[in-house]
Amino acid sequence: MLLAILLLALTAVFFWSGYRAPPHAFQSRSRAGFFICLALTGFAAYFAWRETRTIGELAELIDPVPSITDVTYVPTSAEVETIAQFLAGVPGRGTLGTTQEERRDLAERVSERRTEYWIIKTGLGSDSVFEFYRDAAPRRGWTIETDKPPWLLLARGSETLVLFVTDDFPRPETKILYGFSIGSN
């Protein structure tokens, strides 16, 4: 959210410099900066809004670990596919560092996957996280397939939920990456 606010302020500065200030040598660049910052502000606001929904989305599958200290937004596979398709349509090599054909190949590979991710930080230690999910109640029907730290693999029918649990060094927190997929990828 802070990033969205800072970008909004920078957008206002570029708007003033490009459209309201007396004519100057960098006016056209200020106008371009305004539109770029406006787009970035929209993305940052969308990501901040999505972060507020992360816990609820995860809670639809499994009980989130207690003592959550931070949540990080991870785009869904559909959003990544949309971004990849957009990048695939950008002609030339440019600053993306790949050819248009390489970007199309990436877009095709991304579209084959149907996976969602959530990243949570908790004040609990990694051993406590594993103990929490060894209890059947928070798993809500998921069975443990693999329980070898740092991995915890859960299955329910054709659904798979993978937890990667690591220390958030140098902070005294634990970071958990939840990865959910349906069927085989």
**Per-residue pLDDT tens over the stretch 133-148:** 999 999 999 999 988 8
Mean predicted confidence (pLDDT) in 52-75: 90
Looking at residue 134, its pLDDT comes to 93
Say if residue 172's pLDDT is above 90. no
Residues 65 and 120: beta-carbon distance below 8 Å: yes
Q: Is residue 150 reached through a cis peptide bond, with omega within 30 degrees of 0 on the bond before it?
A: yes
Question: Which residue has better confidence, 184 or 75?
Answer: 75
Which stretches of the chain are DSSP H helices?
2-15, 27-59, 77-88, 100-111, 126-134, 136-139
Q: Is 148 in a helix, a strand, or coil?
A: strand
**Per-residue pLDDT tens over the stretch 14-47:** 999 999 999 889 999 999 899 989 988 988 898 8
Give the strands of the sheet with 68-72, arranged side by side: 68-72, 115-122, 174-182, 159-167, 151-156, 143-148
Distances (CA, A) of 155 to 13, 21, 41, 56, 152: 51, 60, 38, 20, 10
**Per-residue pLDDT tens over the stretch 79-132:** 777 766 666 665 554 444 456 666 566 555 545 556 788 899 999 999 999 999
